Amino acid sequence: MAVIIDGKSLTLDDVAAVARGREKVVMSDGAKAAVIKARNYVEKKLSEGAVIYGLTTGFGKFSDTFIPADETAQLQRNLIISHSCGMGEPLPTEAVRAAMLLRCNALSRGHSGIRLSTIETLLNMLNAGVHPIIPEKGSLGASGDLAPLSHMVLVMLGEGEAEYNGVRMSGREAMQKAGIPTIELAAKEGLALINGTQIMTAIGSLCTIDALDLMKTADIAAAMTAEAQLGIKAAFDHKVHDVRGHQGQKDAAENLLKLLEGSELALRTQPDKVQDAYVVRCVPQIHGASRDAINYVKAAVEREINAVTDNPIIFPDEDEVISGGNFHGQPMALAFDFLGIAVSELANVSERRTERMVNPALSFGLPAFLTKHGGVNSGFMIAQYSAASMVSENKVYAHPASVDSIPSSANQEDHVSMGTTAARKCRMIVDNAQKVLGIELTAAHQALWLRSEEGRGHMAPATKAVYDLLETKIKPIETDVVMYVNLKAADELIKAHAIVPAAEKVCGELK
């Protein structure tokens, strides 16, 4: 079933369906009418000889330079080719698809003055799988993502490069093979296509989708570690969390109790200890804070994916064209910095839980490094090293990009957001966190197998379901194996969002 865009009701689930699931996209009839109405208004203003930024003037510092009507098409083309200054490796295809979707959705609101046929060209590319090669570096997130979005538009003009059917080729060849005519931009269209936050928001949207899954996955990993650590469930009692009142904390505690229901390993009280270490006892407080941050970002992203972010903005009903600053990426820059910090903490505490399982001084009787035959076998010794490495790397990436700014365009654009840098850093943090939590799940799988060998008791049904899923890819280790194969398998399960459904099938939906 196709995703229908109208500029107002796109969801993160829609973004995932198009970016990762290759769903088709169509515009609503109401959106088409709004786009046509705005374009007719632009044509009227052009015929009247009105002086309007970006339509009949240059850009940035050249906003005072009037452009004659017979040069407007050249103005728009020059804007795209001159602004195509991206550098570095290409963005992943899923991010490119998300950006194309978000740009089409923003233009569908009918406040950009672009022709319907131009939007349809971009939609046809998206639906046919013509994916522009967009270098990941070069955006300040000031007048939006000018450089990377220009690379997207190049292919519409038959320039640049694209990937089609898995093959990288020239933009013109990709369009020809897909049977999509290239276009010549009309007045306002180049600016409408590249003035916006769609690259940072595309990358950040996918990070947010993964973070929403990861915050539940982290609760599952913590529950399995709590069982391996013979944890005390009383710390998760709702009364403890109700008196503090943070929703994320309450939700995480509820998840843990739901996941641990029926466990013979993690009990309400334990005869041999009064309390657990913080990384087990304080999971609701730690995960909950990240959960609240992730949900804040989710709300911000859901607004931005339905926002008009180009300039100037056309208001046909009010007979106004207003040059504003909706292209500025600050709302997303702060959000994606915050998201990176929140996800970094999920990885940080996960690595410490792994340490408690592999360290015989902290594991409540588990063998050193989770191997029965230590010495000749190293077991999970270096798995914890690997997790520690990525956690430390995340501390570098988590430094906020949004606190930086550098003036550009001869000081016309004198404060910039660095929002795309924030989103790109966040993507690296999420990837590392997925891997770190995969290591914890792999270690917990081994630890719980060792507990079963001890005859300690049964796991909770929900954590046992996840254990069984892991068992399809990972077997308990009697002696050393090529370890990265197991760790990679766990990472792939997390990236496929497979861990959470396995638990929820047994215990019901997690918060």
So which residues are the catalytic ones?
53
Q: Which residues contact 383 (CB under 8 A, 6 or more apart)?
A: 354, 358, 439, 442, 443, 483, 487
Backbone angles phi, psi at 322, to 5 degrees: -115, 125
Q: Which residues contact 219 (CB under 8 A, 6 or more apart)?
A: 252, 255, 256, 259, 283, 287, 510
CA distance 148 to 137: 8
CA distance 348 to 195: 37
Are 463 and 224 in contact by the 8 Å Cβ rule? The answer is yes
Backbone angles phi, psi at 4, to 5 degrees: -100, 125
Are 158 and 125 in contact by the 8 Å Cβ rule? The answer is no
Q: How far is CA 24 from CA 131, 176, 293, 300, in A?
A: 14, 20, 32, 25
Which residue type occupies 481?
Answer: V
Nearest residue to 112 via CA among 224, 37, 175, 166? 37
The DSSP H or E segment spanning 363 is none
Q: Report residue 259 as tokens.
A: 């996941």
Backbone angles phi, psi at 130, to 5 degrees: -90, 105
Nearest residue to 285 via CA among 346, 225, 363? 346
Tell me how far apart the terminal alpha carbons of the chain are, to the nearest angstrom: 28
Question: Could you say which DSSP state residue 20 is in?
Answer: T
CA distance 257 to 234: 9
Tell me the sheet residues that pair with 132: 162
Q: Which residues contact 361 (CB under 8 A, 6 or more apart)?
A: none
Helix (H, G, I), strand (E, B) or coil at 413: strand
Nearest residue to 291 via CA among 345, 235, 242? 345
**CA angle in degrees (0–180, nearest 5) for 41-45-48:** 140
CA distance 411 to 353: 49
The position carrying tokens 């570690």 is: 225
Are 438 and 494 in contact by the 8 Å Cβ rule? The answer is yes
